[in-house]
Amino acid sequence: MSESPVVWESRDFVLKVNEAEIPWLILYHKSQYREMSQLPEGTRLEIYTIIDSIEREMLEYYKADKINIASFGNYLPRVHWHIMARFVNDSYFPEPLWGKRQREASLNLPDIGVFLERVKARIETLSLQSESLS
């Protein structure tokens, strides 16, 4: 895992910030699973819930035009997901951020610190709810 700032951590997951022009989080599973299909079913459902929470917060807080979610694992061959808030006026849209720059952009986005606290609170609320159902 890269040395990016940790937003949230649990027994199984680490959520980090990827420094970029846009809000970009990476969710890592702490195991050495290489593919999503290798994860236990309950873990796959937990991943979906976490990613869904991040997506909803990106849409609500940043009013993003689109959310990109990707899982490559070519350089880091273990299960992890990139969740990115995209804007029609960001430097690369509609290309991916590792694609061809389309324009010079200067996004005026709300404070990422507030966003990260909101994401953490949303995920922790979900974790508490799932524990109480167990």
Domain ranges of the chain: 6-133
Report the C-alpha gap between 15 and 50 in whole angstroms.
10
Average pLDDT over the chain reads 90
| Predicted model pTM | 0.90
| pLDDT single digits (tens) 58-116 | 999 999 999 999 987 777 778 899 999 999 999 999 999 889 999 999 999 999 999 99
Give the residue-averaged pLDDT of 112-132: 84
Report the C-alpha gap between 32 and 115 in whole angstroms.
29
Q: What is the CATH number of domain 6-133?
A: 3.30.428.10
Give the residue-averaged pLDDT of 52-59: 97
